[in-house]
Structure 1
Amino acid sequence: MKLYKFGWLFLLMVISVSSCGQKSKKDKTDFSKGDMMIRMAEIEIDSNYLDEYIAILKEEAEASVRLEPGVICIYPMFQKEEPTQIRLLEIYANKEAYESHLQTPHFKKYKTSTMAMVKDLKLIAMKSIDPESMPLIFSKSKQ
């Protein structure tokens, strides 16, 4: 069981590296303006679907950051002792970027194909305390 959990942890670490900090050259987000939209998604997944859900989530998170200039970060993770408890840190350049994200084919595919897998979903709006440090955080992820 410990090897199984380690495998999931490793997979989510790979997803995380590919899903945060890869800002497009054309993305000139000014973090200090304070108009970013940040939220945490708390998701409980039916354990019967965990492998399938992780694969779909990985595809969606990577596509969102790679294809959408306004998606700064989609950082998926799970609780170490409870892998069915997924958490996503989502950072968008602004509300418009978030609303645009909801209309993309990759998000719609994720939403429709995982609907039956999700037992519970909570979306929590967040506010950055220190947005000026954000570029430094992401630059360190490249090291």
Structure 2
Amino acid sequence: MFSLVVQMQVRPGKREQFLAGMSANAEASVRDEPGCLRFDVSAVEGDENRFLLYELYTDAEAFEAHKRAAHFAHWRTIAGEVVAEQVNTPGALLVSHAAEGTR
């Protein structure tokens, strides 16, 4: 499986616009892309404008399909306005443990 960790710094005053656009992108990715298995958005404690994303795809081809999706293109327009800095770290999922859905 293809994984991606993204660190984003959002411009001051753009947090709500970022969250609205990113939430729509994440929801559409999981809902509309068969190859997108997970799309989490987390805030960094102590910095209201820094976020971490964790995305999981069946393979690199599914991630490439994600980048061609209409909702991703819409997100990229928003990102141009709100994101000050971004670091992408691609990888491969090796081990996974989850309690969600079991409680």
Q: TM-score, normalised by structure 2?
A: 0.91
Are 1:90 and 2:63 counterparts? no
Which residue of 2 is the match for residue 46 of structure 1?
Answer: 11
Are 1:65 and 2:65 counterparts? no
Deviation, 1:127, is 3.0
Q: Which runs of 5+ in 2 are unaligned?
A: none
**What letter is aligned with 1:89?**
Y
Are 1:80 and 2:51 counterparts? no
Alpha-carbon RMSD: 1.3
Contact 2:6 2:87 in 1 (8 A): yes
Which residue of 2 is the match for residue 37 of structure 1?
Answer: 2
Contact 2:2 2:93 in 1 (8 A): no
Q: Which runs of 5+ in 1 are unaligned?
A: 1-35
Instruction: Tell me how far apart the structure 2 counterparts of residues 95 and 126 of structure 1 sit (CA, whole Å).
Output: 10
Structure 1 runs of 4+ off > 4 angstroms? Answer: none
Instruction: Tell me how far apart the structure 2 counterparts of residues 126 and 83 of structure 1 sit (CA, whole Å).
Output: 26
Instruction: Tell me how far apart the structure 1 counterparts of residues 92 and 67 of structure 2 sit (CA, whole Å).
Output: 20
Contact 2:30 2:38 in 1 (8 A): yes
- Select between 111-120 and 57-66 the one with higher mean Cα deviation: 111-120
Q: Which has the higher contact order (CA 8 A, sep 6+)?
A: 2
Which residue of 1 is the match for residue 21 of structure 2?
Answer: 56
Are 1:119 and 2:78 counterparts? no
Which residue of 2 is the match for residue 7 of structure 1?
Answer: none
Q: TM-score, normalised by structure 1?
A: 0.67
Deviation track 1:27-76 (CA, whole Å, cap 9, x = no partner) reads xxxxxxxxx11110000000211111101111110110011110011100
Aligned to 2:94, the other structure's residue is in SS state: coil
Deviation, 1:83, is 1.7
Number of aligned residue pairs: 102
Name the structure with the higher strand share.
2
